[in-house]
Amino acid sequence: MSSFACPAPLSPGARVLLGHGSGGTLSADLVRELFLPRFASAELNRLTDAAVVELEGVRVAFTTDAFVVQPTFFPGADIGVLAVNGTVNDLAMMGARPSFLSAAFVLEEGLGLDALVSVVDSMAATADRAGVRLVTGDTKVVERGAADGLYIVTSGIGVVPDGIELGPEHIDVGHAVVVSGPVGSHGVAVMSRRAGIEFDVDVESDSMSLVPLVDSLLEVANVHCLRDATRGGLATVLCELADASGCAIDIDEPRVPVLEPVRSACATLGLDPLYVANEGVFVAVLDASDVAAALEALRAHAGGSAAALLGEVGAGTGVHLRTALGVSRPLRLLSGEQLPRIC
């Protein structure tokens, strides 16, 4: 049964800020105080990557996402690649097998058709690699200056196999926390192109379908929760999981995989790689006894070769980062916007 609450009053003259799209504190407040009270349902209230609903005895995962990344093209990917992989990955985080996509294109007057063709071609190729079909869509055109060239909104559906039950409510003390790959690459790739910064080694977006990694992981481990570390990065995902599960998460900073060019770029740009967005990395919470098998399965894939055990779920609340010096410090949700328009 749905539980409805009175919507929180809005401050007079309040405005939407870029930080409301960060995936951090402002985003969480917007969702919990404005949207949830007005659209409350058991599925929405879970705040997972996708909703799992039952249709005539079949459990289906359903998700939707909007992509407004700037620039449209960046090292390793473009907005079309993100639109497909981002939606497919949200379904995979519920253990679903992605099947169908929809796409709505918001085009700005004056957009070059060559750019649109390039995006659509890469989007089609990415869907083919991910094993999904785009089966319906829409196109709108807005006035010059109203859309930064191109926005894409995608939705996806997939079937959840019997026996798969994933979500933060299944997290408990003693479980292990694993990350599937190095963090921060996508955010640095987008920011470097946006700012016109060149590094000694090219940093490319990690955007990819996570379905093969998830399939391999589910075959060998008792997995309780999956979450892809997109907006707000690894730290934000860990904070959300700790809050939703009512448990503490303790991780070791030296174990967090970060490519050296990404680490150097973050130092140059004044960014914390733990909070930088990813598009091909997920966090898995699983039985501690299955860690060795899980890491072996993930590392068998090119996209999971740097998979690592981060730490464990403990009693208490919040996320605690153990540094190389042996000092523990809390990780919290971003209070503002570290990298706007990153996906």
Question: pLDDT tens digits for 163-205?
Answer: 999 999 999 999 999 999 999 999 999 988 887 877 777 799 9
Contacts of 69 (CB under 8 A, 6+ apart): 79, 82, 190, 341, 342, 343
What is the pLDDT confidence band of residue 338, given thresholds at 50, 70 and 90?
low
For residue range 303-325, what is the model confidence (pLDDT) as tens digits?
999 999 999 999 999 999 999 99
Q: CB–CB of 192/75 below 8 Å? A: yes
Q: What is the mean pLDDT of residues 76-98?
A: 98
pLDDT at 268: 86
What is the pLDDT confidence band of residue 23, given thresholds at 50, 70 and 90?
confident
Rounded-to-integer distance, Cα 276 and Cα 260, Å: 14
Instruction: Give the whole-number percent of the chain exceeding pLDDT 70.
Output: 95
- Whether residue 210 is predicted with pLDDT greater than 80 in this model: the reply is yes
pTM over 0.85: yes
Q: What is the mean pLDDT of residues 213-232?
A: 97
Rounded-to-integer distance, Cα 85 and Cα 158, Å: 14
What is the pLDDT confidence band of residue 11, given thresholds at 50, 70 and 90?
low
Least confident of 26-40, 79-93, 126-140, 209-223: 26-40
- Whether residue 301 is predicted with pLDDT greater than 50 in this model: the reply is yes
For the chain, report the end-to-end CA distance as a whole number of angstroms: 34
- Whether residue 128 is predicted with pLDDT greater than 60 in this model: the reply is yes
pLDDT at 262: 95
Residue 15: count other Cβ atoms within 10 Å of its Cβ. 6
Single out the residue of 243, 241, 133 nearest to residue 179, CA to CA: 241
pLDDT at 4: 44
Q: What is the mean pLDDT of the chain?
A: 93
Q: What is the mean pLDDT of residues 97-123?
A: 98
pLDDT at 195: 78
Q: What is the mean pLDDT of residues 127-131?
A: 97
For residue range 285-300, what is the model confidence (pLDDT) as tens digits?
999 999 999 999 999 9
pLDDT at 56: 92
Using DSSP, state whether 270 is helix, strand or coil. Answer: coil
**What tokens were used for 41?**
């349902």
Contacts of 188 (CB under 8 A, 6+ apart): 203, 261, 262, 265, 266, 269, 271, 276
Could you give all domains of the chain from N- to C-terminal order, each with its CATH number? 46-159 (3.30.1330.10), 168-331 (3.90.650.10)
Contacts of 9 (CB under 8 A, 6+ apart): none
Q: CB–CB of 116/151 below 8 Å? A: no
What is the pLDDT confidence band of residue 3, given thresholds at 50, 70 and 90?
very low
pLDDT at 9: 57
Q: CB–CB of 189/205 below 8 Å? A: yes
For residue range 322-337, what is the model confidence (pLDDT) as tens digits?
999 989 999 998 766 6
pLDDT at 10: 57
